[in-house]
Amino acid sequence: MFNTIANKFAKKRLLAPIAAAAIGFFPAAHAEDTIKVGVLHSLSGTMAISETTLKDTMLMLIDEQNKKGGLLGKKLEAVVVDPASNWPLFAEKARELLTKDKVAAIFGCWTSVSRKSVLPVIEELNGILFYPVQYEGEESSKNVFYTGAAPNQQAIPAVDYLMNDLGVKRWVLAGTDYVYPRTTNKILEAYLKSKKVAKKDIMINYTPFGHSDWQSIVADIKKFGSTGKKTAVVSTINGDANVPFYKELGNQGVSAENIPVVAFSVGEEELSGIDTKPLVGHLAAWNYFMSVDTTKNAGFIKQWHEYIKNPKRVTNDPMEAHYIGFSMWVKAVEKAGTTDPDAVQKAIIGVESPNLTGGMAKMLPNHHISKPVLIGEIQDDGQFVTVWQTNKLIDGDAWSDYLPESKPIIADWTPPINCGNYNTKTKKCSGQNY
């Protein structure tokens, strides 16, 4: 299916300059008359289940902007590469996009290990990366704009909901074995202990990418939850490993009533390929759900279905993050009058863009944005019903207040600080920029 869609998009890209010239939007499509935009998402490998849709989203947004007349009087041209869920290859492809293709900005990555791979390349070459997925925090780079959730915009509110609304006393922190789950769970463990949760009431488990044999792990979770104390699973499992994980939960009768699972990396796209009936009532914490009833969201879904030519394709949170990030980049380029990275980095601070759930997202000096937080229940049709949400937008915090080493650190990319890890006690910026 993905290859068929990719071929259709390839044909569209070939025809686009002809169509644009015919209706007078753009001058002749010479290289100097285009602004190239890098799209760095896995179209194969373990993360393709999540990332392919984000590639499609970027193509749609770029196509829409071209219909509006492009940017600075030039046509936008998508340069799509496939790092194939290979973390070192993300760095190679990012370097290629910046040095060979001369892209003005890159929209991409999903896992934090892929972002960490790209980070030194982006900083060395002074590129711009818009990163659209929730992450573990503990980072703020001059060259990265984090449009997904920081821990205080997803993980902490989810634990608060489980603790305060569902009365959870025992905690399973289950994640894929890489930087995002490990750092997020480090923050969550510290947060739970600050709430007087005993160490014996916290179980932590990690599995590799693509893990498929969940029988013994789910059995261990059932045993851990059989003490009489309300137990929940906080899941930072990523990619296609979620499919067998949720299937095994159903096989072993782990229902939302006895051991609810709240996921941070499972949305509508991941659920679209599995039978969700045994999962009804399990939860996910995001900043957007397709089911949100707003005029903006209805328009976005309609645009998506018309573009992708498939009314069954779903929308999800990272798609909204790209929608917001792309809008902010366009506004910053227009404000700066150039795609020069330094000018755009300065211009984008304070830029606002509508989110799809209502309200305005704002780019903060720490390169994170303001977002609402929503908890949703899985329905038998693979959608979510919002059961809880914040009553205001939450500003993304780059550095966690629950880690002693991070508590005094802030990020602020405006004068006079201009630093991603400024220590408010020593009044000094650490050696690196993140």
Tell me, what's the pLDDT at 11?
A: 40
Task: Supply the mean pLDDT for the chain.
Answer: 91
Q: Is the pLDDT of residue 363 over 60?
A: yes
Q: Could you tell me if 198 and 73 lie in one domain?
A: no
Q: Could you tell me if 58 and 6 lie in one domain?
A: yes
Q: Which residue has the higher pLDDT, 214 or 434?
A: 214
Q: Name every residue whose Cβ is closer than 8 Å to that of residue 408 and which is 6 or more positions away in sequence.
A: 423, 424, 425
407 lies in some domain: no
Tell me, what's the pLDDT at 430?
A: 83
Q: Could you tell me if 302 and 240 lie in one domain?
A: no
Tell me, what's the pLDDT at 7?
A: 42
Range of the domain at 215: 152-292+375-395
pLDDT band at 337 (very low <50, low <70, confident <90, very high): very high
429 lies in some domain: no
Tell me, what's the pLDDT at 262?
A: 97
Average pLDDT over residues 160-180: 96
CA–CA distance, 290 with 193 (Å, rounded to integer): 34
- What amino acid occupies position 136? E
Q: Could you tell me if 110 and 222 lie in one domain?
A: no
Tell me, what's the pLDDT at 53?
A: 96
Q: Could you tell me if 234 and 315 lie in one domain?
A: no
420 lies in some domain: no
Tens digits of per-residue pLDDT, 18-50? 334 333 344 434 446 899 999 999 999 999 989
Q: Could you tell me if 118 and 157 lie in one domain?
A: no
Tens digits of per-residue pLDDT, 406-420? 999 999 999 999 999
Tell me, what's the pLDDT at 274?
A: 77
Q: Are 409 and 397 in contact (CB under 8 A)?
A: no
Domain CATH code at residue 385: 3.40.50.2300
Q: Could you tell me if 114 and 185 lie in one domain?
A: no
pTM over 0.85: yes
Q: Is the pLDDT of residue 199 over 50?
A: yes
Q: Which residues pair with 157 in a beta bridge?
A: none
Q: Six-digit token pair at 155?
A: 């993980």
Q: Could you tell me if 60 and 193 lie in one domain?
A: no
Tell me, what's the pLDDT at 273?
A: 74
Tell me, what's the pLDDT at 431?
A: 57
Tens digits of per-residue pLDDT, 66-104? 999 999 999 999 999 999 999 999 999 999 999 999 999
Q: Could you tell me if 343 and 387 lie in one domain?
A: no
Tell me, what's the pLDDT at 239?
A: 84
419 lies in some domain: no
Tell me, what's the pLDDT at 190?
A: 97
CA–CA distance, 309 with 369 (Å, rounded to integer): 31
21 lies in some domain: yes
Q: Could you tell me if 271 and 317 lie in one domain?
A: no
108 lies in some domain: yes
362 lies in some domain: yes
365 lies in some domain: yes
Q: Could you tell me if 15 and 128 lie in one domain?
A: yes
Q: Return the residue matching tokens 């939860």.
A: 283
Tens digits of per-residue pLDDT, 367-397? 999 999 999 999 999 999 999 999 999 999 9
Tell me, what's the pLDDT at 20?
A: 40
Q: Could you tell me if 48 and 90 lie in one domain?
A: yes
Task: Name the domain count of the chain.
Answer: 2
